[in-house]
């Protein structure tokens, strides 16, 4: 691993695997953050290059133990974010915790997770959430809330109490080429370490950044 910042990294920044480090930070946040410690601000761009951002819930940090891994969230593939990701093949997000005064920024390439892993996550959700995934045409115009609830009732009668995962709903995996770990410092002299690599299978290079 081409780590130019290894000697300077200790404490909360220590370790050779950025995915394991991200997992440990999230675990800490789960004990201190009052709401949704796994909430990320996801950024995409549309066909005109206009940026778009929204909050979604990160569901998995995959750490494979050799410095490789990915971040996974789930969505309707017809949604604006999924369509923009499909077109660009790239996305970015920031995971920020006020309670810890830390954040993680990620940029990378994307792929779908629509196999057994997505089936298992879908099955773990509440029945109402599973039926809601069938009923909602995410990001499309909606006449009224009553229209949506009528559609929920329709799919409930159609799908029953054990619906399969909709073919238009699943995971999106972000495999990063850049991860930045940031922690608040006194007098706004923050600590920042940026992990970068040329491609998803290349070795990481780590540098300390000015605040």
Active site residues: 188
Backbone angles phi, psi at 164, to 5 degrees: -75, 160
Q: How far is CA 25 from the centre of its chain?
A: 14
- Burial group, residue 117, by CB count within 10 angstroms (0-12, 13-18, 19+): middle
Task: Please answer whether residues 37 and 30 qualify as being in contact, where contact means their C-beta atoms are separated by less than 8 angstroms.
Answer: yes
17-41-123-133 Cα dihedral, nearest 10 degrees: -160
Q: What angle do CA 178, 87, 54 make, to 5 degrees?
A: 65
* C-alpha to C-alpha distance for 38 and 45, rounded to whole angstroms: 22
Task: For residue 66, give every residue at least 6 positions away whose Cβ sits within 8 Å of its Cβ, in sequence order, or none.
Answer: 17
Task: For residue 162, give every residue at least 6 positions away whose Cβ sits within 8 Å of its Cβ, in sequence order, or none.
Answer: none
| DSSP state string for 80-104 | HHHHHHHHHSEEEEEEEETTTTEEE
């Amino acid at each position: 691993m081409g780590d130019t910042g290894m000697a300077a990294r200790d404490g909360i920044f220590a370790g050779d695997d950025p995915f394991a480090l991200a997992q440990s930070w999230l675990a800490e946040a789960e004990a201190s953050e009052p709401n949704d410690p796994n909430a990320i601000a996801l950024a995409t761009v549309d066909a005109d290059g206009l940026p778009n951002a929204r909050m979604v819930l990160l569901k998995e940090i995959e750490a494979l133990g050799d410095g490789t891994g990915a971040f996974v969230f789930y969505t309707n593939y017809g949604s604006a974010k999924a369509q923009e990701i499909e077109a660009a093949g790239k996305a970015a997000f920031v995971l920020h915790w006020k309670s810890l005064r830390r954040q993680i920024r990620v940029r990378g390439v994307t792929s779908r997770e629509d196999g057994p892993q997505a089936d298992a996550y879908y099955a773990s959700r509440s029945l109402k959430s599973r039926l809601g995934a069938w009923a909602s045409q995410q990001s499309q115009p909606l006449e009224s809330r009553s229209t949506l609830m009528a559609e929920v009732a329709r799919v409930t009668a159609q799908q029953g109490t054990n619906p399969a995962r909709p073919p238009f709903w699943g995971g999106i995996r972000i495999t990063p080429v850049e991860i930045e770990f940031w922690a608040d410092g006194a007098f706004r002299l923050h600590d920042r370490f940026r992990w970068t690599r040329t491609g998803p299978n290349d070795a990481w290079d780590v540098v300390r950044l000015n605040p």
